[in-house]
Structure 1
Amino acid sequence: MAACSSAASGSGAGTPTATASSGTSAAQLASAAFAAPAASGKQPAGVTYNTGLVPTGAKATIKAKAKDGGMEITLAVSGLRPNRMYGSHVHAKACGAKPADSGPHYQDKKDPVQPSADRAYANKNNEVWLDFMTNAKGEATMTSHVTWAFRKGQANSVVIHANRTSTESGMAGMAGDRLACLTVPFS
């Protein structure tokens, strides 16, 4: 089980703040409406595992661009529960029929101990944290900047979680249940 699948809420310290994009425009990497997982075979690009918190038909878009020697990643969502905090991270594997199929968080420097809950590895500088609060319409946009680029083939989805990402010792990176997943070809 990945660190972020454990139910825990954190202080939110270190969570990236929304930033305005500048320079060249970001490329859209993926966009989909969330659907229920397929019974077998290929999965939809956007999968919801909890239709109460990420309803079927809710949408997510991921954009990315090179910036300041690193990457700027933007998540935009609509159709989610209004006025609610969600956690969100880039994960190693593509979305699957089960929430755990997306694997652990993508980390620039991999923690040798998995699931990773060590603040030296599970932090906003070594992972992509895209926590967000929806507005009254159930919409939100969050941008995170990291100073590195993804390794080819090792970052393949964005997972929306039930809680804000924890920064507490022994709980770092955890954000509760995996509610939905968007398959994203980051490299």
Structure 2
Amino acid sequence: MRIVPVVLSAAAALVACAGTASATSPVQAGTTGELVRYDEALVPAEATAKARTVSVTGTLTTLSVRGLLPDREYGAHVHTKPCGAAPNDSGPHYQHIADPVQPSTDPAYANPRNEIWLDLTTSANGSALAVSHVAWTYGDRLPGSVVLHETHTHTDPGHAGTAGGRLACLNLDFGG
């Protein structure tokens, strides 16, 4: 099974990343709680998801899911605000350098180097793991959530960063 080495590598990277903090780069670690569902047809009631993000000298984020539809592509991104009752309550994608035009569809801003993209394809049993590493840290602007979308993320101009409807959401808790 190929997922075990990936999981072990991601776990080791999270531990290594958290262990390299200095006085000038505090560890910012966010974990998630309950899954907020907006579309139970694509995110069944038995589905579970967990995300973790660690920001020290770069930012490493993981998303693991179980019980989603089998053999299906989903998009996922870190968002600026917490989950709410409505799918759009979580705000736009978190961007290291914010696009002055929102919603952001300019590939200069909406890309996996300026945002945290966690696109995944589920296995035959509906499980998947996604890992993102970017060179920047959150600094004073902490994100609020990880949102699961209905398609993989588009990269073409005018559609960059879009991934269809918001299916589910996980709040990020930084313990502060």
Asked whether the two chains share a fold, i.e. TM above 0.5, the reply is yes
Q: Distance in 1 between matches of 2:166 and 2:13?
A: 34
CA displacement, residues 2-56 of structure 1 (integer Å, 9 cap, x when unaligned)? xxxxxxxxxxxxxxxx783345527671143xxxxxxxxxxxxx21110010012
Structure 1-normalised TM-score? 0.77
Equivalent of 1:61 in 50, 62, 85: 50
Aligned to 1:14: none
Counterpart residue identity of residue 111, structure 2: N
- The correspondence of residues 39-78 of structure 1 with structure 2, limited to 5 A, is 46-66=35-55, 69-78=57-66
Structure with higher helix content:
2
Counterpart residue identity of residue 171, structure 2: T
Q: Which runs of 4+ in 1 moved over 6 A?
A: none
Q: Distance in 1 between matches of 2:159 and 2:124?
A: 30
**Structure 1: gaps (5+ residues):** 1-17, 33-45
**Structure 2: gaps (5+ residues):** 1-5, 19-28
Structure 2-normalised TM-score? 0.82
Q: Distance in 2 between matches of 1:184 and 1:124?
A: 19
Query: SS in structure 2 opposite 1:100?
Result: helix
Are the equivalent residues in 2 in contact too, given 1:63–1:75 (CA < 8 A)? Answer: yes
Residues 137, 166 of structure 1: CA spacing in aligned structure 2 closer, same or farther, 3 A cutoff? same
Equivalent of 1:129 in 106, 117, 120: 117
Are the equivalent residues in 2 in contact too, given 1:155–1:185 (CA < 8 A)? Answer: no
- The correspondence of residues 120-159 of structure 1 with structure 2, limited to 5 A, is 120-159=108-147
Aligned to 1:103: 91
Counterpart residue identity of residue 74, structure 2: Y
Aligned to 1:94: 82
Counterpart residue identity of residue 70, structure 2: P
CA-atom RMSD in angstroms: 2.0
Q: Distance in 1 between matches of 2:13 and 2:147?
A: 27
